[in-house]
Amino acid sequence: MSIRYTERLAEVGASASAGSVADSYDNAVAGALNGTFKAGLIEHQGPWLDFGQAERAVLRWSAWYNSERLHSALYYLPPDEHEHAYWQHQAQAPQTA
């Protein structure tokens, strides 16, 4: 499968990685997210009876992760609340010419 994937990337003129060969940097963020996903959803809420149940669980988890979870880099605010505060601050900031 890896060979077919590499060939397909070459056909469309895409590159497989922005990093160096065998560098885990490109996959570090994805790996961290996958670990959080597996620990938070798969290991604690499964197994599901059918594809529909699993799909709904993934959608609920994704909505929670992207909008409601407390995030340490955002001063322990949910992302939605932090974004709202950011835009509110931008609207109140004096505009310069």
Q: How many residues does the chain have?
A: 97
pTM for the whole thing?
A: 0.59
Question: In this predicted model, what pLDDT tens digit does every residue of 9-51 receive, in sequence order?
Answer: 888 888 766 555 555 556 777 788 888 888 889 888 888 999 9
Query: Following DSSP, what letter does each residue of 19-36 receive, concatenated?
Result: S-TT-THHHHHHHHHHHH
Coil/strand/helix, residue 77: strand
Q: Where are the domains of the chain?
A: 28-97
Q: Tell me the percentage of the chain whose pLDDT exceeds 70.
A: 87
CB–CB of 71/50 below 8 Å?
no
